[in-house]
Amino acid sequence: MALQASLLPSAITVHKEGNGAFVLKNVKSDFSPLLIGTKELKRKPLMGPIRAQTATVAPSVKEATPDGKKTLRKGNVIITGASSGLGLATAKALADTGKWHIIMACRNFLKAEKAAKSVGITKENYTVMHLDLSSLESVRQFVDTFRRSGRPLDALVNNAAIYLPTAKEPTYTAEGFELSVGTNHLGHFLLSRLLIEDLKKSDYSQKRLIIVGSITGNTNTLAGNVPPKANLGDLRGLAGGLNGLNSSAMIDGGEFDGAKAYKDSKVCNMLTMQEFHKRYHDETGITFSSLYPGCIATTGLFREHVPLFRILFPPFQKYITKGYVSEEEAGKRLAQVVSDSSLTKSGVYWSWNNNSASFENQLSQEASDAEKARKLWEVSEKLVGLA
């Protein structure tokens, strides 16, 4: 069935597929949720749905004082990319509980300060620290600065990302990696590998490391099936350094495609979470999680997209696919993964149904490939100078 959406230009038609999903035809787009609603092919909860809670409650922990008495302290959470969108909304949701101090790890100090003020996060509940994930040197400096602050680390949220769907040529990080994968995956990989030592030392009762994933990297979803599809191949481009000179700028060794590079980076995020779980969960008790928070069509993630896309995307998601979630709701979801005592299971990719109930979602075959996760880990640790 094809219907002409009144909101869309006549060149673009909306088709309803047999399975109930909506597809836009006659427009080339590379961000799947514009084309396809976020209904998933396999959305089978592995356990009973857990009701989402609007208020997030951090476990209260006790810390020894010199006189032996115990005092309550706030949890400390680092959120990368907390200057806008999902990261900012999560910072706000956690700060509002009064139980968390947020370290806003951001590349633009002033923007982060203004953002915190604009949503009403009070000064005692946050600290802005500089972090540019497109520079491994900056990642190391950030870790150093954080350690010098003397704060324990109780939760790390790898949230920041860039999406360059209209780029015709690759651009590169300070160390010469293609920018999307270099920022979204390699920067976060180094950050997490370094900060796992800090998480291990924390006396907090529920320590967590979270890497934000996406439906667009999962080819077991309708959204993940819109070309260009995520595909890491045999990682030959990544192994070659992702530099576009003596190796491809794409992980699979193919031709540069900015939309695919983003989706590939999200597969890396979800594989990395699972490899962390496998290597560290039993030994440390840290909970490792990933999530798809829903389609937050209004965030700055789409800033590089064509203007028509940016105009149509939010109403399309709100009124046609119904896959839209507000930044506030998405922030509450991620805040649950940080602090809700019902989401302590490690190695899980969380999603939410239309009633905002969380459930353990299934990852695509590639995003749950244990052998690929191991190889990705080994290649990545060489690239970031850890092996």
Ligand X SMILES: NC(=O)c1ccc[n+]([C@@H]2O[C@H](COP(=O)([O-])OP(=O)(O)OC[C@H]3O[C@@H](n4cnc5c(N)ncnc54)[C@H](OP(=O)(O)O)[C@@H]3O)[C@@H](O)[C@H]2O)c1
Show the binding pattern over residues 296-315: x = contacts ligand X (CB under 6 A), - = does not.
xx-xxx--------------
Out of 75, 87, 237, 258, which residue is the one contacting ligand X (CB under 6 A)?
A: 87
132 binds ligand X (CB under 6 A): yes
Closer to ligand X by CB, 239 or 242: give it.
Answer: 242
Strand order of the β-sheet with 13-16 is 2-3, 13-16, 22-25
Segment interacting with ligand X (CB under 6 A) among 84-92, 116-124, 191-199, 233-241: 84-92
Out of 111, 114, 117, 382, which residue is the one contacting ligand X (CB under 6 A)?
A: 111
Number of residues engaging ligand X in binding (CB under 6 A): 30
Closer to ligand X by CB, 61 or 271: give it.
Answer: 271
Out of 91, 161, 196, 223, which residue is the one contacting ligand X (CB under 6 A)?
A: 161
The residue of the chain with the least Cβ separation from ligand X equals: 85
Segment interacting with ligand X (CB under 6 A) among 104-112, 139-147, 340-348, 355-363: 104-112
Closer to ligand X by CB, 155 or 295: give it.
Answer: 295
295 binds ligand X (CB under 6 A): yes
86 binds ligand X (CB under 6 A): yes
Closer to ligand X by CB, 214 or 274: give it.
Answer: 214
Segment 188-227, which members bind ligand X (CB under 6 A)?
Answer: 212, 214
131 binds ligand X (CB under 6 A): yes
Out of 75, 81, 165, 237, which residue is the one contacting ligand X (CB under 6 A)?
A: 81
Segment interacting with ligand X (CB under 6 A) among 47-55, 156-164, 224-232, 337-345: 156-164
Out of 37, 75, 85, 331, which residue is the one contacting ligand X (CB under 6 A)?
A: 85
Backbone angles phi, psi at 85, to 5 degrees: 50, -135
Chain centroid to CA 384: how far? Answer: 20
Out of 53, 97, 108, 171, which residue is the one contacting ligand X (CB under 6 A)?
A: 108
361 binds ligand X (CB under 6 A): no
Out of 29, 90, 159, 219, which residue is the one contacting ligand X (CB under 6 A)?
A: 159
Out of 107, 188, 207, 305, which residue is the one contacting ligand X (CB under 6 A)?
A: 107
3-state secondary structure string across the chain: CEECCCCCCCCCEEEECCCCCEEEECCCCCCHHHHECCCECCCCCCCCCECCCCCCCCCCEEEECCCCCEEEECEEEEEECCCCHHHHHHHHHHHHCCCEEEEEEECCHHHHHHHHHHCCCCHHHEEEEECCCCCHHHHHHHHHHHHHCCCCCCEEEECCCCCCCCCCCCCECCCCCEHHHHHHHHHHHHHHHHHHHHHHHCCCCCCEEEEECCHHHCCCECHHHCCCCCCCCCCHHHHCCCCCCCCCCCCCCCCCCHHHHHHHHHHHHHHHHHHHHHHHHHHHCCEEEEECCCECCCCHHHCCCCHHHHHHHHHHHHHHHCCECCHHHHHHHHHHHHHCCCCCCCCEEEEECCCCCEEECCCCCHHHCHHHHHHHHHHHHHHCCCC
| Site residues (vs ligand X, CB under 6 A) | 80-81, 83-87, 106-108, 111, 131-134, 159-162, 183, 212, 214, 292-293, 295-297, 299-301
